[in-house]
Amino acid sequence: MHDISRRAALGGLAALGLANGAQARTIEAVRTAADDGEVAARRYAAAGAGKCPAVLALHGTGGFELNPEGYARYADALAAAGIDAWLVRYYTAADAQALDLKTSTRESRGAYNAGRFAGWSRRVSAVVSAALARPDSTGRIGLLGFSLGGFIAAQAANDDARVAALAVLYAGMPDATVALVKRLPPVLELHGDADRTVPPAKGAELVRLARAAGAPAEQVTYPGRGHGFDLSGNDPMRPPMRSRASCGSSGLTSWQPDSANKPWFETPRLRPAG
């Protein structure tokens, strides 16, 4: 377990948790064509002018609707830091029906998910293409995945070499892909050590896979925290955790106003690839 105070907010990002609410937001609805139907997203435009990197955020099983304010806080933090934040709803209509929390079981969802990771990865890659094609793109893109979205982000980062950084919250690599991992970008995995939905061991496995593929990777665990605790509005660990995840998924800089080009982790061994 890492000492949370030791590297709070990865290079000064903790202030984002306090400052992002004061900034005016520009939010754009975006629809991207994919093989099995359009992918809907909400793009939170980066603050400031000029080219910027992008981060695609992928929701958990309940969708963004389960905690819209929690996800919006992440998007606000990224946008305030000069990063285009895309909240990507990767579900098709069939996915939404099969994974409806009111009518499905954990067992039925697990069986369904196992057959959908490759398809979801392709849908994410379609949005990666759309984000990188924008005239204001720097050509750098990261993924930020929550729970099921974290598994999908890990799958997509393995499948799509254009992904420059990966931040995963309480998730890991899909079981069927573990033996097939060929490449991964720098990885940051965040997990509560009391998570009974996705064991922290799955996050640790993802870190080992990334390191075996030659990528820098780290897991940060939070004592006594369960699944999805960062989306709560009153957990004291929420702002620093959001700052870590925002920094890790950007994969480019620590976003300090006086130092725009420091590595995304402050330690030299964790500079991004590329």
The strand pairing partners of 144, in sequence order, are: 57, 167
* Each residue's pLDDT expressed in tens, for the chain with a length of 274 residues: 333 222 322 222 223 332 334 455 799 999 999 999 999 999 999 988 889 999 999 999 999 999 999 999 999 999 999 999 999 999 999 999 999 999 999 999 999 999 999 999 999 999 999 999 999 999 999 999 999 999 999 999 999 999 999 999 999 999 999 999 999 999 999 999 999 999 999 999 999 999 999 999 999 999 999 999 988 765 544 444 545 554 544 443 332 222 333 333 222 222 333 3
Note the helical H segments in the chain.
9-12, 16-19, 68-80, 93-98, 106-114, 117-132, 148-159, 200-212, 238-250
Residue 12, pLDDT score: 26
Which residues lie below 8 Å from residue 115, measured CB to CB, with a gap of 6+? none
Q: Are 118 and 90 in contact (CB under 8 A)?
A: no
CATH topology of domain 4-270: Rossmann fold (3.40.50)
Q: Are 46 and 79 in contact (CB under 8 A)?
A: yes
Residue 234, pLDDT score: 58
Taking the model in full, what pTM does it have?
0.81
Domain boundaries, the chain: 4-270
The tens digit of pLDDT for each residue in 33-91 reads 999 999 999 999 998 888 999 999 999 999 999 999 999 999 999 999 999 999 999 99
Both tokens assigned to 213: 């593929």
The strand pairing partners of 58, in sequence order, are: 88, 145
